[in-house]
Structure 1
């Protein structure tokens, strides 16, 4: 007996169940609803991933800005008459504030080296208590290609105290801690005491009148699969060496 038919009255059969058209319509409606629900869930999950990624990037970027700003606010340079241009020509100034442009992997980034009272013993890798306790250090910020694939460039902070043998102890770039990953831009702008801006700086050169910058603008960009995040701040150096011309006029 065909199960799609049932007996209604003696000797008579009546058709029951769903027609093929009704089944197809139900399948189409279910597919539409499932698609809508899946799209909504996928969008929510993607947004959660983007929020988590943004939180991580902003925390890393804010920490990086704080570290650079703290270092710059504690920058040191020999004042006059401890520093003289004649001595700088004969012997390189170990406390020189030098900002240059570095080319890495075909891209250009800012690089910076200066002295500051911001030594972090954890970055020296030295067990020497005297060396680890030194407060005045030579700091270096530089960008290099990330050793991990698909992570672009990384920003590193080199740190060595001024208790070293300059001939034997060179920069160990591999031990410099990584401050930021996924870097696509890192640009520093230097402002003199007349508020003129420069892309490079050398406090032992007459082009800057042997002064340290009055302020430094920090800009970098972090880019991930979820988006790109720019960071910008300007730091006024509370102490430093004034232009030689200004000192002579006083």
Structure 2
């Protein structure tokens, strides 16, 4: 006499099915996690690449507008100071609280400035531009890696100087920089130096190299760097 066979699954088959399903779900989750992680890395790199393109283009263009022959404006707290025509650029070496370089550069530029770009007919385009790192008082400081704002300051070259400073325009180009380093090429000695505008280095350097140390949105360190040729006087050999 034949025994009746059940049409259902045995307990062992159910357990095996659950194990296989669990393994498949685990593999799917791992694959999805890897894909999302890779996507985030790619987006992180793309964001920095876009920032690098904008910063390098802007800074390079403005540095190339630096002009020798017009002196810098006197300091705002000492308007009686006067500079010579060769003192059109000042490069200062500095350090940030996080140990990274915190340099600053001030220079006179022609055919430059926000106002000139908006109204070229009634504006000479002679401005004094300064780049430096500043702390943002409205942002909560980070404990893991402090970041700062790369601030651009623009002052129209006009008199009285009080009026010029009253028209100053200041805004950050970016707000997650860790450091800002500037180097100037001394064509006579054929060396790079960190300071410009002293007795040994007047007029304009032959080239300027800037390095911006940043953090990506995901917190990875990155260096943006470019070398820019300037309108310097060439040494006759």
For the aligned pair, the TM-score class normalised by the smaller chain equals 0.7 to 0.9
Deviation at 1:122, TM superposition (A): 5.1
**Structure 1 residue aligned with 2:203, among 197, 211, 230?**
211
User: In the alignment, is residue 98 of structure 1 matched against residue 90 of structure 2?
Assistant: yes
Deviation at 1:26, TM superposition (A): 1.7
Task: Tell me the matched-pair count.
Answer: 221
User: What residue number does 1:85 align with?
Assistant: none
* CA distance in 2: counterparts of 1:47 and 1:131, whole angstroms: 50
Deviates more, 1:92-101 or 1:136-145: 92-101
Instruction: Output one character per residue of 1:88-125: Cα deviation in whole Å (capped at 9) or x when no partner.
Output: xx72348521111234444431111000114222599x
Note if contact 2:155-2:165 (Cα within 8 Å) is conserved in structure 1.
Answer: no
Deviation at 1:144, TM superposition (A): 1.6
- Give the direction of change, closer, same or farther, for the CA distance of 1:164–1:20 in structure 2 (3 Å limit): farther
User: In the alignment, is residue 179 of structure 1 matched against residue 173 of structure 2?
Assistant: yes
**Structure 1 residue aligned with 2:193, among 198, 213, 221?**
198
**Structure 1 residue aligned with 2:128, among 138, 149, 155?**
138
User: What residue number does 2:214 align with?
Assistant: 222
Instruction: Output one character per residue of 1:168-201: Cα deviation in whole Å (capped at 9) or x when no partner.
Output: 554888x522223321232111111132111111
SS at match of 2:9: coil
* CA distance in 2: counterparts of 1:139 and 1:152, whole angstroms: 22
- Give the direction of change, closer, same or farther, for the CA distance of 1:189–1:18 in structure 2 (3 Å limit): same
* CA distance in 1: counterparts of 2:233 and 2:162, whole angstroms: 27
SS at match of 1:177: strand
User: In the alignment, is residue 162 of structure 1 matched against residue 157 of structure 2?
Assistant: yes
SS at match of 1:183: strand
Structure number with greater Rg is 1
SS at match of 1:39: helix
- Give the direction of change, closer, same or farther, for the CA distance of 1:13–1:35 in structure 2 (3 Å limit): same
SS at match of 1:133: coil
Note if contact 1:104-1:144 (Cα within 8 Å) is conserved in structure 2.
Answer: no
- Give the direction of change, closer, same or farther, for the CA distance of 1:109–1:164 in structure 2 (3 Å limit): same
User: What residue number does 2:53 align with?
Assistant: 62
Structure 1: runs of 5 or more not aligned: 1-7, 83-89
User: In the alignment, is residue 40 of structure 1 matched against residue 31 of structure 2?
Assistant: yes
Deviation at 1:131, TM superposition (A): 11
User: In the alignment, is residue 148 of structure 1 matched against residue 139 of structure 2?
Assistant: yes
- Give the direction of change, closer, same or farther, for the CA distance of 1:93–1:102 in structure 2 (3 Å limit): farther
Q: Quote the RMSD (CA, aligned, Å).
A: 3.6
- Give the direction of change, closer, same or farther, for the CA distance of 1:21–1:122 in structure 2 (3 Å limit): farther
Deviation at 1:20, TM superposition (A): 2.9
- Give the direction of change, closer, same or farther, for the CA distance of 1:20–1:148 in structure 2 (3 Å limit): farther
Structure 2: runs of 5 or more not aligned: 72-80
